[in-house]
Structure 1
Amino acid sequence: MESLLKELRQRFKFLVIDSPPVLPVTDAMILSTFVDGVAFVVESGVTARGAVVRARKVLENAGARILGLVLNKVDVRHNGYYGYYGHYYYTDPGKTKRTSASQSASSHFSG
């Protein structure tokens, strides 16, 4: 593995290695010793906070450099203010109309 990664580093500026989850198997922990940094990918509403904390400790104990966290599969329809900013109101002489922000931006930039 180490020789393969050395060769790939010479050929490419960036390498992204996808690994299995940290806690059930040791693959991610082992791979973390060969890479410059680790980015956690966490599924919103599914991955428990405690599991993320434990996984982080496992990787840090292996000497991994934690770069950050990617939160994926976020359902913006059920999370506070996001839905609010998706629409806005404007007043036309004689009527009020609700318009999607993306429709408004599209018509504004298309002429």
Structure 2
Amino acid sequence: MKNKARNIVFIIGTLLFSAMIYRYAKRDHALIKERYRPNVQVTSAAPVYRKANLKSPVLDTLSTGTRIKTGKQNGAFYQIIFVEDNKTVRGGYIQNVNLRKTE
């Protein structure tokens, strides 16, 4: 009898713990998705610079219509946080004349 009660308590505890972990994972996923949601769109093909300077080396070029998440503005440039279509471009800078807000 004690073993049955112990097994039932263990199973209920496991189910409650699993439900709690699922809830936290679902909430974290929603927060991460919101944090990296693109806020601007590239209006014309634009080079991505290593630093916020036209003389800085070009890392890549983003095509028209690419949606990106930008960070702080640094003069005439925005820092790139996340590019929706190109997962390899991170941390570069793009000129703000090539961008249009999507929100």
TM-score of the superposition, structure 2-length normalised?
0.23
More helix by share: 1
The higher-RCO structure (CA 8 Å, 6+ apart) is 2
More strand by share: 2
